[in-house]
Every structure is written in structure tokens, then in C-alpha cells.
Amino acid sequence: MANHRDPVKPSIALRWVLALLLLASIACQTGEILTPEEATARAQQAQEGKAGSAPSTARGAEFQVNETVEFTGTEFLIPLRKEPGDVSPFSFAGRGDQATVLGSREVEGEVWYLVKSAA
């Protein structure tokens, strides 16, 4: 009796391997590669930012503490992030919604604002 292999099984296994590689490559695109020195500097900067409880104003900030601002943008929803540099938003504000500036700080050359809003 001849022992025949099922030609479908290698095809399915190959598809699983390709799907796994595709998934891994997509996951890697969202991250950022840092040297240990850069990672340490970012961690220290984040700790310094959390240590101060009083609102601060960054140099070059367009808005002052307790100023009411309006969200503008090209899209209907404006993403709000918990921490400077976060990739994923934790909430969204509608275009035209208002918020109160609680503070600002500069992170990697950009001014980030802490706001209080209904969103």
C-alpha cells in the first residue's frame, strides 16, 4: 500500500507561517527603537514631569493656564492622549469642543498641553 501525503497540509502550514510573520511585522511598525541612554533620559523626564504637582507652563506655549481653548482640526474628532508621546488616544474631543488649559510642558521639542474637558 502506497503512503501518500496530503498536499493541502503543507499549504495550510505555509499560510500560518506567513500570517504569523505578517502579524509580527505589523506589531513592530508601531514601536520605536531606542538606545538605553535615550530610554533612560525619557524615563527621567517622565518622572520629573509627574513629580511636580503644580501646573507649569512650557516656553513657547501659545496658551496660558486657566485659558479656555477650542479644539480645531481637519477631522471631526481630535484624539486626546494621557501622556506626551502616547501613540493611542484614550479619548476623543469633537471639533469645536472647549477645554480649560491646566498646564503645558515641552517634550522632544513639542509643546504638550494638559487640559480639562468634557471628553
pLDDT tens-digit readout, 6-28 = 655 678 888 889 988 888 777 66
Would you say residue 17 lies in a domain?
no
**How much helix, strand and coil, in percent to the nearest 5, is found in the chain?**
30, 25, 45
CA distance linking residue 43 with residue 88, whole number of Å: 19
pLDDT exceeding 70 applies to what percent of the chain? 78
Report pLDDT for 52: 52
Write down the pLDDT at residue 55: 61
Contact 76, 93 (CB under 8 A): no
Q: Is 44 inside any structural domain?
A: no
Backbone phi and psi for residue 79, each to the nearest 5 degrees, phi listed first? -70, 140
Q: Residue 70 corresponds to which cell in the numbers above?
A: 477650542
- Residue 38 in any domain: the answer is no
Tell whether 98 is covered by a domain: yes
Distance separating alpha carbons of residues 117 and 90, to the nearest angstrom = 13
pLDDT of residue 54: 53
2 in a structural domain: no
Q: How high is the pLDDT of residue 71?
A: 87
Q: Is residue 14 part of a domain?
A: no
CB-side exposure of 13: number of CA atoms within 13 Å?
A: 5
> Is residue 80 assigned to a domain?
yes
| Residues lower than pLDDT 50 in the chain | none
Q: How far apart are CA 44 and CA 53, in angstroms?
A: 16
Domain interval for residue 86 = 53-119
Number of domains in the chain: 1
